[in-house]
Amino acid sequence: MSLKVRAAVAQMCSGPDVDANLAQADRLIAQAHNEGTQLLVLPENFAVFGRKDLPSIAEPADHSGPIGHFLADAAKKYGLWIIAGTIPYAASRTGVAAPQGKVFPGCSVWSDSGDCVARYDKCHLFDVDVADGVGRYRESDNFAPGDAPVVVPTPWGQLGMSICYDLRFPEYFRQLVNAGATMLVVPAAFTYRTGEAHWEVLLRARAIENQCFVLASGQGGQHDAVRRTWGHSCIIDPWGSVLASCAEESPSLVVADLDFAALADVRRQMPVLQHRRF
């Protein structure tokens, strides 16, 4: 296992046009490659955002559709690991078909050889009322939830997977750490209102209480007449310090070097994970 990795989180402002979104993602992946990145996180809904006909463009569970081919080619071409935000999938990661009219929101992990090595389906769906331009969010109208946390072996250690609304459930992240995670990825599309209030404080809390690096890749910008996302993508260390962040809402790349020897020092000096009583 390597003790260091240069990681990046890509911030996007995706829309309903898949080809345009993939072109935007490709530019950010190329930029990450040029900056020496080995690991890149794309945001939630990076490939399609704001469409209701998701079953018609859903990716097959074997990743053989156009989005899967794009990710495999990009990971291999640029020689980096890609955590692919979310893609609408026609079946769960275990092969169960989505209910009629729905898809699974899946985050896939692609190695630098272009192979899909893991996938996580979002467990917590965003069914809430927010005082913004949209007002009522009901992800369960269009999505089916996943049923299990996923931790992925990488050349730099164990990577714990989450998606957006999962961030509000600390017990979920503790399961990832119990399974060995030292990195936590959070591809997201936080609303502007909830992001302004809670995004950074929740990310820093998950980093501090679990003594992990957190890589948070968000949608950021005005997507249509009413939908605006917070952005502010960032990378946070196990002490809760923000190593790098984006203060804008536009597409951009945030890069930081993760030092796992420093993570080990934090866990040794303050062994809270060993002191748990419950």
Residue 178 maps to which CATH number? Answer: 3.60.110.10
Instruction: Please check whether residue 111 lies inside any domain of the structure.
Output: yes
Domain count, the chain: 1
Q: Is residue 277 part of a domain?
A: no
* Residue-by-residue pLDDT tens, the chain, 278 positions: 679 999 999 999 999 999 999 999 999 999 999 999 999 999 999 999 999 999 999 999 999 999 999 999 999 999 999 999 999 999 999 999 999 999 999 999 999 999 999 999 999 999 999 999 999 999 999 999 999 999 999 999 999 999 999 999 999 999 999 999 999 999 999 999 999 999 999 999 999 999 999 999 999 999 999 999 999 999 999 999 999 999 888 899 999 999 999 999 999 999 999 999 99
278 lies in some domain: no
Structure tokens at 121: 């389906």
State the catalytic residues. 44, 122, 164
The answer to whether residues 242 and 269 touch, using CB atoms and an 8 Å cutoff, is no
> Under a CB-based contact definition with an 8 Å cutoff, are residues 12 and 58 in contact?
no
Give Cα 60 to chain centroid, integer Å.
20
Looking at the domain assignment, is residue 60 inside a domain? yes
Phi, psi of 67 (to 5 degrees): -70, -40
Helix 170-178 and helix 200-210, axial crossing angle in degrees, nearest 10? 30
* Domain, as residue range, for 144: 4-272
pLDDT of residue 138: 98
Task: List the beta strands (DSSP E) in the chain.
Answer: 4-11, 39-42, 81-89, 104-110, 116-121, 127-129, 136-138, 151-154, 157-161, 181-188, 213-218, 220-222, 228-230, 234-236, 242-245, 252-259
**pLDDT at 183 (0 to 100):** 98
E strand residue ranges, 50-111 = 81-89, 104-110
- Residue 255 resides in a domain: yes
> Any idea how long the chain is?
278
Residue 103 is assigned to a structural domain of this protein: yes
Q: Which helix (H) or strand (E) holds 148?
A: none
Torsion sign, CA atoms 6, 177, 247, 244: negative
Residue 253 lies in a domain: yes
Tokens representing 230 are 């917070």
> 15 in a domain, yes or no?
yes
pLDDT reported for residue 95: 95
